[in-house]
């Protein structure tokens, strides 16, 4: 009398470890977004701390080391949540003593970093490096701060952080769905093989 042949049960594929990879991608994406946001925050805070400042009313020299666009910000308590209702006039003179045109800032850009709260007031273009002279007049309690624009850097940091986070989450979800579908198909195939693969063997003669 022959013994029935036994074989190892077929495994469900792909391995369930792929679920761990999916979770890792999601976590990595979120962690990467947080790191980028924190680095951007620190960089922006250092940038704001480095602004050159002139009290209102008052005057002071401002050193411009590079040509290009700059912004004049007004710093005062709660600048990020309210518009200053007082009166402030600013005049900027280039190294030759000529007046530098100041344009009203095109949007409501505010910041709050390192104990500084400010709101963008004017923008100007520095045609050449050198020592500029700023004269401010108006209500006290306001500080005029000069520095490179932070709007583009802030937007870039936000977009990059969101992009990294979204990429990690999307990739993780895609891997999760693909693995779940393939494992479901594998389970159905194994179940079908178990249902139709039973054989009673040849009839026995006595």
pLDDT per residue over 50-67, tens digit each?
A: 999 999 999 999 999 999
* Contact yes or no for 142/76 (Cβ under 8 A): yes
pLDDT at position 203 is 53
The predicted model gives 192-198 an average pLDDT of 66
* Contact yes or no for 118/110 (Cβ under 8 A): yes
Task: Give SS3 for 20.
Answer: helix
How confident is residue 91, by pLDDT bands cut at 50, 70 and 90?
Answer: very high
List own/partner pairs for 149-155 with CB under 8 A and 24 or more apart: 149/69, 149/70, 149/71, 149/120, 149/123, 150/44, 150/47, 150/48, 150/71, 150/109, 150/111, 151/107, 151/109, 151/120, 153/40, 153/43, 153/44, 153/47, 154/40, 154/44, 154/111
Euclidean distance between the first and the last CA atom of the chain, given in angstroms as a whole number: 11
pLDDT at position 81 is 85
How confident is residue 101, by pLDDT bands cut at 50, 70 and 90?
Answer: very high
Distance (Å, rounded) from C-alpha 84 to C-alpha 109? 13
- 28-49 pLDDT, tens digit each: 999 999 999 999 888 888 999 9
**Dihedrals φ, ψ of 185, to 5°?**
-65, -40
Distance (Å, rounded) from C-alpha 169 to C-alpha 127? 45
Q: Is the pLDDT of residue 6 over 60?
A: no
- Lowest average pLDDT, out of 83-87, 110-114, 179-183, goes to 83-87
* Contact yes or no for 150/111 (Cβ under 8 A): yes
User: Which H or E element spans position 62?
Assistant: strand 58-64
Tell me the whole-structure pTM to 2 decimals. Answer: 0.69
pLDDT at position 202 is 57
- 138-173 pLDDT, tens digit each: 988 899 999 998 877 778 888 999 999 999 999 999
Q: Is the pLDDT of residue 79 over 70?
A: yes
């Amino acid at each position: 009398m022959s013994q029935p042949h036994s074989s190892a049960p077929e495994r469900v594929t792909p391995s369930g470890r792929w679920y761990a990879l999916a979770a890792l991608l999601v976590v990595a994406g979120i962690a990467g977004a947080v790191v980028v946001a924190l680095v951007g925050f620190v960089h922006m805070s250092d940038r704001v701390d480095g602004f050159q400042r002139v009290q209102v009313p008052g005057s002071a020299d401002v050193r411009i080391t590079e040509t290009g666009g700059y912004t004049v910000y007004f710093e005062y308590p709660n600048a990020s949540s309210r518009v200053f209702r007082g009166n402030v006039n600013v005049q900027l003179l280039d190294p030759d003593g000529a007046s530098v045109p100041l344009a009203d800032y095109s949007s409501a850009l505010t910041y709050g970093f390192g104990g500084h709260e400010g709101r963008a007031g004017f923008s100007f273009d520095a045609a050449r490096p050198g020592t500029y002279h700023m004269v401010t007049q108006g209500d006290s309690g306001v500080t005029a701060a000069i520095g490179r624009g932070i709007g583009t850097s802030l937007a870039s940091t936000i977009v990059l952080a969101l992009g990294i986070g979204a990429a990690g989450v999307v990739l993780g979800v895609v891997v999760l769905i693909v693995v779940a579908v393939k494992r479901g198909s594998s389970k159905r195939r194994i179940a079908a093989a178990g249902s139709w693969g039973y054989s009673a063997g040849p009839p026995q003669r006595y």
